[in-house]
Structure 1
Amino acid sequence: MTLGILLGLIGLALAAGGVRLATLGGSWYYLITGVLLVLSGVQFARQRLSGFWLYAAVFVGTVLWSLWEVGTAFWPLVPRLAPVLTLGLFALLLLPRLSAGRVRAPAYAGAAVLALVMAAGGASMFVPHGVVEGPAASRPAAAAPAAAEAAPWQHYGRTLAGTRFAPFTQITPQNVDQLEVAWTFRTGEVNGPGTKNPGSEDQNTPMQIGDTLYLCTPRNTVIALNADTGAEKWRVETGANSLYWNRCRGLGYYEVPAAAATPAAATDGTPASSTPVAAAADAALCARRIVMSTVDARLMQFDAATGQACTGFGENGSVDLKKGMGEVKQSYYFPTSAPTVVDGKIIIGGWVFDGREADEPSGAVRAFDARTGELAWVWDLGNPDHTGLPVDGQTYTRSTPNVWSTPAVDEKAGLIYLPTGNCPSDFFGGHKPPVCDEYNSSVVAVDLKTGKERWKFRTVNHDIWDYDVPAQPALYDIPDGKGGVTPALIQVTKRGQTFVLNRLDGTPIADVEQRPVPQGHTEGERYAPTQPYSVGMPNLGFEPLSEARMWGATWFDQLACRIKFRQMNYEGDFTPAMVGKPTIFYPGFLGGMNWGSVSIDEQTGTLIVNDVRVPNVVRLVPRAEADKVKATMGHGEGMHPQANTPYASHNTQLLSPLGVPCQAPPWGALSAIDLKTRQVVWQRPLGTLVDSKTKSGFAMPLPIPIGMPTLSGPTSTASGLVFYAGTQDYFLRAMDSATGHEIWKARLPVGGQATPMTYVSPATGTQYVALSAGGARTSPDRGDYVIAYKLKGR
């Protein structure tokens, strides 16, 4: 009776949902199965043997249907087969009673087999699936360890090339399991949900210069630490704060040339100490400077030894980045990524608050004299011939694509490579001028000396998907097979596409082709007929979605996801948003790949990259309807007003009723690509469920390596290690760069979403791995930790 009632209730739920799915043009499986389960339940309740045979039909049909739909892929099979296996076990245990004992032995034998299958399936949940194994790139003999003085972590990507590769060999795959906490530092600033700064996130990668580690907090407190002990040397509270999006991903460093740091005597005989040149006196104090941009749009400098303001820089140590921008509403414009310091200049772009309105501050990129703060040049996309301050009464061209991520630099070529974003507003572009289509979501090479454009490459045509180029380009010389090398730029994108370009002229090294994409019908919009695809590089798991790829932790939320999918507008990549019917964006506007960027193992030429595989759902909302709804003042989900355009946008993620992504796992992975062969070396799901909880409160705190969405980026070393911490569980991990196998992990007090770094102390010769851990984005657990690890006994 109990089993009969249970089967009947399950069958009614599946049949009801199945009717809805079938009327939407979806699979009939759920309707047919629901009806059979109801009939089976009735017969079980009546203690009729036909109840078992009806269930057996459901069992066999489900197995055949599942194998037909998804093959033998483990995670797609789990919600399909787990329910019928569980119910089948009870049905077999009841079979002897229904058959008056005639089939006792076969029934119990069958139940034992199902129990073994379920046990094997349960055990398999703790084994990574979706793993790709390829031919490992050969590792040459490690070069002599780099002197610490010659290899500081001085830039966001360690060097201006942005490869996040450290030429150190003290920590190796053989001894990495001997890592232990060397020191822990607390910044005193806890941010995120439940705090007074809910939109703040700690994404800082510390910078190491000599015996000092420099870091910044989301609200721009600058702190200097002893690199060996973690003891605080100095800190500066800048008082910076933003209402919505506090971040400080990194700092810059500048050394004043020796000639400029020594004040010269005045020509009129005045003693040098009283020369009326503030910059010269300041240079003596600030011969070594820490450079920081703030979330209230200032560019600041501090003496690296003392933390004192470099008063000869700008006005008392600060440059107002709002100058020339025109109206800047509170928290609508500021840099979030580290300033680029090179060639005696500080080069900086800025983040613009997405989705607010059509008229927002300029995306202009500026270079300032690193010693004085004077403007050296500006790259104003809408006025490229004017490289200085705007004339009176004018501003830099407003609402142009901005550069919110980190550039890379080839000093030999004299070029800085700028990854551009989008023009406002994100999801409607009928109003956008030609300059937007010319430069949106591109990589642009600009002359370091003059700020003049040298070449550009666009990754999206007429971007109405918020597919900003989010990651720092990585520069690497790829062997050409003829004894020489090709100077390459590797650019990952939110689209999950990886473009490999010749960094001297912007031409593709890996083939790129224009492919037709879906067209829309929204009034006032225009659509690009084709989009660029990097067909010469591997697809890392972003195949188009289908109903069969919809997933759920149970029969019911998988059915709900199938219904959602059928109710939405989706024709594959680049399906444009529309009014009324929600549209699926996959990859979503969080990635693919995002701001964490990549690492390149420079000894093997292996590209290491993490990704996010969660679709977004966007619906255009007519202006009259949107103006009645309060806009979401966060960044990402909710109602974005897109003021001064015909439409607002409402943004969500494609999630099941339990709050898990609707498409089958993994939802995040770490991959390695051989840049010589352009083949996947390995790919592994990244992160477990142990610390995850969905918005609905559903949790399964088990170390199941399902592969979760990731943030931040990886770091690689000359010894053959990859360090990564941007998972939703609270671990810093080390992987073997040749195979991707996890060979060490350390439990963190809270999650992390910053890229780890590694350095060798010049004082002790000890190699450290350091990480900021302020909390994973999806977790309420927040902290203010900076943690460094070293080998036992060092």
Structure 2
Amino acid sequence: MNDTTMFHRWGVWGMRALALVLMIWGAALLWVGGQVALAGGAWTYAITGALMLLGGLVQLSGRLRAGAALLVLALLVTLGWSVFEIAAKGFMPAWGMDLAGRAGLLTLIVGLDVVLLLVGMASPFRAGWARPLGFGAMAVGVAVVAGIVALLWERPASSSGTATASEDTGGAAQADWTHYGGSPLGQGYTEAGLISPANVSGLTEVWRFRTKDLPPSDKVSYSAQNTPVYADGRLFVCSPSNHVFALDPASGDLLWGYDPEVPEKAMEPLFSVACRTVGFHDPDTGLGADAASDEGMPAADVTAQSCGAKVLVSTVDGRLTALSAADGAICEDFGDGGTVDLTEGMGMQVSGFASNSSGPTVLGDTIVIGQQVSDNQQRDAPSGVVRAYDANTGDLLWAWDALRQGIAQEPLEEGEVYPRGTPNIWNVISGDPEAGLVYVGTGNSANDHYGGTRTPEEDRFTAAIVAIDMQTGETVWDFSTMSHDLWDYDVGAQPAVMDMEIEGETRRVVVAAVKTGSIFILDAATGEPLRPVENKPAPQGNGPLPGDRLSETQPYSTYYPNFAGMPTDGMQERLTAAHTWGIGMIDEAMCRRDFLKMDYDGTYTPPSDNPGGVLLFPGAIGGLNWGGIGLDTERQILVTNNSRLANHLTMYPREEVDALPIGEGGLHYAQEIVPHWKSPWGITRPTWLSALGMPCIAPPWGMINATDLATGELLWSKPLGTGYDSGPMGMPSRVKVPLGTANLGGPLMTSSGLTFIAAAQDNFLRAYGTESGQLLWQGRLPAGGQSSPMSYVHEGRQYVVQGAAGHSMLKTEIGDYVIGYALETK
């Protein structure tokens, strides 16, 4: 029955307009949902699409009430099925956002249709309660949504106490930050405790410095990732193109600056141009000869040193330069006129193919430095060699490589290069000068996703923790965090060294956090696992690609939660079709269709020639990555932050990619398919995103977690980051509800029980209570905070410093800021 005569004209046209929208939407959903169903997935998308299409047609035909009933039925089907799937996953954090993505848009449109039905009916046919009910329902709906958002809006808890710098909570009177992770041990921990949970609410920005180093063109991807160093009464900062700045620690004023004049061409090949830190060496303090022990590094003859304390910076184009810490002048007696040529012996095809972005690590009078080698370009890539230099003279001491075992101190012959394509060490290097050991976390051999040409020695040192003798450069022990890596699950986090109580005995340990989410506890002297490690069966799929091989098992740390995704007991979180997500049902259905086409049997699903590709979860950024971990050594608490994203890996036969340019290293701007040259395959490996640019798995997309190191108990875990500065199609939502975002950068731990972290895709620096997990303070950043904060005490006042320079590949706002925070003084 045509009932348009019962309604005002504006009501009829309003409902017909909505019906037209719902018809188009329903037809598209029916089409995509049918593909999902035919691929073996749920029929719900197709059923909902059919109901929407039918309801829209019925309304357009003039049967407004019958059409609205069908649309309400479509909504009820969607809501019921969504809640069922969300419940089956255990109502994960941010499950409300999961539900809103699945059903929010449909609820809005169907709700408007019903309101128009109630309020648009002409008075002779309308019950007296209809219009008040329609307007009332709309008002209630708006109020409920606003109330939920307001309730969930992220805001720090109120704190009590005197929020001034005069309050002494037992923090250190003086605390330096001499290395990326605070010290060469890489703990991310400071003894300073003048800023405490009781007064952190009074933390305020006290200075801001700008490096003026911004991307020179759209061919260069910047992501500074810098954590400053505080030593010798100065703060030392580096920017993406390796400018070095010495700042006044109290005011942030520039004391001196150095420009290495890195050519733009050297930066273009890099996935991201970064300068995570600089090195600092002073032969007259604990950072030089006095730090050496009889068992570790020998003391150096420093009588000829013209610079004294020096800052060491490595550049994208392969230079290691020493600068006077006092005035920035080049130390002419270091290396060749102040510089060591890091390209020597590398056989570099193109400038920037191999470069150090994590900075040199200074251990006693030794500088240790590795480099990143651009991923997936070709098997014949520069070496992954790690080299050590005399911090006073710049002389080469040794060169460690997977294929140079036993000959680290032997120089290269004339014209010889270091072994090609070997596992590289691109992350921050740690060390224990007292023990005379260097600790490195390795990557994999060139060409991440095909290992058919790797040697047993390369496999041994792929994704491994390796202890190297500081004097000889020889391997003391090695521990493989995985077997025959085909997924780019290299060790991104800096190995950390600490003392830990194990079975009533204090042991010196290395804490190794890896992309696959495991936390390994290894004896620092022998590499023996001190917490249980089990080798468990790994997916075999349809077998290896021709010429390659697969490991039947992979190692898992079973004592601590796994942080590959949501914290789980030992094993990584396993995705199902129910984890797919999108903004609206079509977006979600397209993601689910992709999921059903991909090969996926959990973590370590092997690469294959499946045209639909392979799902990599955790994705290439982890899990746990270069930001590292935080260790509260007093409370024996581990803090980790991890991303929860997946990658879509597709392998292309050689003949399809041979015509493409090899590129100049890295994710070159001109490359459509990464060539993987000198292997049978080229690849694409984008983050698995929906058509609207949102992750194809339901939130949360990033977490921060605290774990008791003694018991292995997860103390707390919560989403890290909000959608305030991100959203569909890259548009910021300005909604500050914690749903977790991808994150890069690590935590800062203080002796007073605070954990500071930025890292997430919204531009905020946060402070949590280390024991409680309660958000206690946050500060707005002018750009992306993809770097790790640091802290120091200068003239009796504690400062927290955070870089805000953004990350091109994480799509956060690019900037050039370094910001200092402190409590107000009386």
For the criterion TM > 0.5, the same-fold answer is: yes
Deviation at 1:418, TM superposition (A): 0.8
Shift of 1:594: 1.1
From the superposition, tell whether residues 420 and 527 of structure 1 become closer, same or farther in structure 2 (CA, over 3 Å). Answer: same
Aligned partner of 1:665 in structure 2 is 699
What's the counterpart of residue 39 of structure 2? 24
Contact 2:806 2:814 (8 Å CA) reproduced: yes
SS at match of 1:515: strand
CA 1:634/1:105 → structure 2, altered by over 3 Å: closer, same or farther?
farther
Higher mean alpha-carbon deviation, 206-215 vs 326-335, is at 326-335
Alpha carbons of structure 1 residues 605 and 185: separation in structure 2 relative to 1, 3 Å: same
| Aligned counterpart for 1:703 among listed residues 733, 736, 742 | 736
Distance change (3 Å), C-alpha of 1:172 and 1:654: same
Mapped pair 1:465 → 2:487: yes
2-structure distance, mates of 1:361, 1:737: 42
Which is further off, 532-541 or 586-595?
532-541
Of residues 24, 35, 58, the one that matches 1:9 is 24
Residue number in structure 1 paired with 2:330: 309
Which residue is 1:549 aligned to?
579
Alignment of 1:184-223 (within 5 A): 184-191=208-215, 195=217, 198-223=220-245
- Say if 2:173 is the partner of 1:147: yes
Bigger shift: residues 707-716 or 743-752: 743-752
2:440 alignment partner in structure 1 = 418
2:595 to 550, 565, 587: 565
Equivalents in 2 of 1:604, 1:107: separation in Å?
Answer: 62
Residue 10 (structure 1) shift:
2.7
Structure 1: distance between partners of 2:779 and 2:225: 19
Paired residues of 1:85 and 1:114 also in contact (CA < 8 A): no
The CA deviation string for residues 490-535 of structure 1, in whole angstroms up to 9 with x for no partner, is 2111222222222222222332222222223422221111111222
* Partner SS state of residue 653, structure 1: coil
Q: Give me the whole-angstrom Cα distance separating, in 1, the residues matched to 2:37 and 2:685.
A: 27
Tell me the amino acid that sits aligned with residue 250 of structure 1: T
**Structure 1 residues 261, 757: closer, same or farther in 2, change over 3 A?**
closer
Deviation at 1:636, TM superposition (A): 4.9
| Alignment-derived partner of residue 271 in structure 1 | none
Change (3 A) 1:515 1:126: farther
* Partner residue in 2 for 1:294: 315
| Matching residue's letter, 1:61 | V
Alignment of 1:505-516 (within 5 A): 505-516=526-537
The AA in structure 1 aligned to 2:365 is G
CA deviation profile, 1:564-604 (whole Å, cap 9, x unmatched): 21222222211122233321111111111111111112221
Tell whether 2:627 aligns with 1:605: no
> What SS class does the counterpart of residue 431 from structure 2 fall into?
strand
**CA separation of 1:239 and 1:5: change in aligned 2, threshold 3 A:** closer
**Residue type matched to 1:159 in 2?**
S
Q: Which of 367, 372, 386 is equivalent to 2:407?
A: 386
Distance 1:474 1:120, change over 3 A: farther
Report deviation, 1:479.
Answer: 2.1
Whole-angstrom distance in 1 between the partners of 2:653 and 2:154: 41
1:582 counterpart = 2:602: no
Task: Write the distance in 2 (CA, Å) between the matches of 1:186 and 1:94.
Answer: 54
For residues 108 and 509 of structure 1, do their structure 2 counterparts lie closer, same or farther at Cα, with a shift above 3 Å needed? farther
Q: Counterpart of 2:379 in 1: which secondary structure? A: coil
CA distance in 1, matches of 2:448, 2:378: 9
Which secondary structure state, in structure 2, belongs to the residue aligned with residue 522 of structure 1? coil
CA apart distance, 1:640: 1.4
* Per-residue deviation, residues 253-301 of structure 1 (Å, max 9, x unmatched): 1122599999xxxxxxxxxxxxxxx996641x22211122221222221
Contact 1:173 1:720 in 2 (8 A): yes
Conserved 8 A contact 2:363-2:432: no
1:787 Cα deviation (Å)?
1.5
- Relative to structure 1, the CA distance from residue 523 to residue 125 in structure 2 (aligned partners, 3 Å threshold; closer, same or farther) is farther
Q: Aligned equivalents of 2:458 and 2:628: distance in 1?
A: 24
* SS of alignment partner, residue 417 of structure 1: strand
Q: CA deviation at 1:121?
A: 4.4
* CA spacing shift, 1:357–1:83, aligned 2, 3 Å: same
Shift of 1:166: 1.0
Contact between 1:128 and 1:684, CA under 8 Å: does it hold in 2?
no
Who is 1:51 aligned against?
67
Q: 1:4 to 1:406 in 2, by over 3 A?
A: closer
SS of 2:686's partner is: strand
Per the alignment, residue 36 of structure 1 pairs with 51
Cα 1:113–1:600 shift into 2, 3 Å: farther
> Contact 1:225–1:232 at 8 Å: present in 2 too?
yes
Q: Which amino acid in 2 is paired with 1:708? A: T
TM-fit CA distance, 1:654: 0.8
AA aligned to 1:253 is: F
Q: Match of 1:409, SS?
A: strand
User: Aligned-pair distance for 1:163?
Assistant: 0.9
> Match for 1:710: what amino acid?
N
Residue 634 and residue 298 in structure 1: after superposition, are their counterparts in 2 closer, same or farther (change >3 A)? closer
Q: Is 2:190 the counterpart of 1:166?
A: yes
TM superposition shift of 1:758: 0.8
Tell me the CA shift for residue 9 of structure 1.
2.6
Partner of 1:531: 554
Q: How does 1:396-435 map to 2 (within 5 A)?
A: 396-435=418-457
Match in the other structure for 2:788: 755
687, 702, 709: which one pairs with 2:721?
687
Cα separation, 2, equivalents of 1:40 and 1:341:
70
CA contact (8 A) 2:748 2:756 kept: yes
1:43 offset after TM fit, Å? 3.0
User: Distance between the aligned counterparts of 2:18 and 2:352, measured in 1?
Assistant: 59
Offset of residue 129 of structure 1: 10
Match of 1:137 in 2: none
1:160 maps to a residue whose letter is P
CA distance in structure 1 between the partners assigned to 2:638 and 2:151 by the alignment: 25
Are 2:86 and 1:70 aligned?
Answer: yes
Q: Equivalents in 2 of 1:204, 1:422: separation in Å?
A: 24
- Whether the aligned pair in 2 keeps the contact of 1:291 and 1:300 (CA below 8 Å) is yes
Please give the secondary structure, in 2, of the residue aligned with 1:597: coil
Gaps of 5+ in 1: 132-141, 263-277
Alignment-derived partner of residue 378 in structure 2? 357
**Shift in Å, 1:323:** 2.2
Aligned equivalent of 2:76: 60
Report the counterpart of residue 760 of structure 2 in structure 1: 727
Where does residue 453 of structure 1 map in the other structure?
A: 475
Indicate how the Cα distance of structure 1 residues 328 and 667 shifts in structure 2: closer, same or farther if over 3 A, else same: same
Q: For the residues of structure 2 that align with 1:710 and 1:322, how far apart are their CA atoms?
A: 32
Q: Do 1:74 and 1:129's aligned partners in 2 also have CA atoms closer than 8 Å?
A: no
Counterpart residue identity of residue 321, structure 1: L
Q: Aligned with 2:256: secondary structure?
A: strand
User: Pairwise CA RMSD of aligned residues?
Assistant: 2.9
Unaligned runs of 5+ in 2: 1-15, 156-167, 290-299, 567-571
Aligned to 1:596: 627
Q: 1:289 to 1:588 in 2, by over 3 A?
A: same
Q: What is the distance in 1 between the residues matched to 2:288 and 2:98?
A: 64
1:295-374 alignment to 2 at 5 Å? 295-374=316-395
Tell me which amino acid in the other structure corresponds to 1:59. Answer: L
Cα deviation for residue 208 of structure 1 reads: 0.6
Letter of the aligned partner of 2:84 in structure 1?
Answer: W
Q: C-alpha distance in 2, partners of 1:351/1:33?
A: 49
Q: CA deviation at 1:26?
A: 0.9
Q: Is the 8 A contact 2:377 2:666 kept in 1?
A: no
Give the fraction of aligned pairs with identical amino acids, expressed as a percent: 35
SS in 1 for 2:561: coil
| TM-score, normalisation: structure 2 | 0.86
**Secondary structure at 1:639 match in 2:** coil
Contact 1:673/1:680 (8 A) holds in 2 = yes
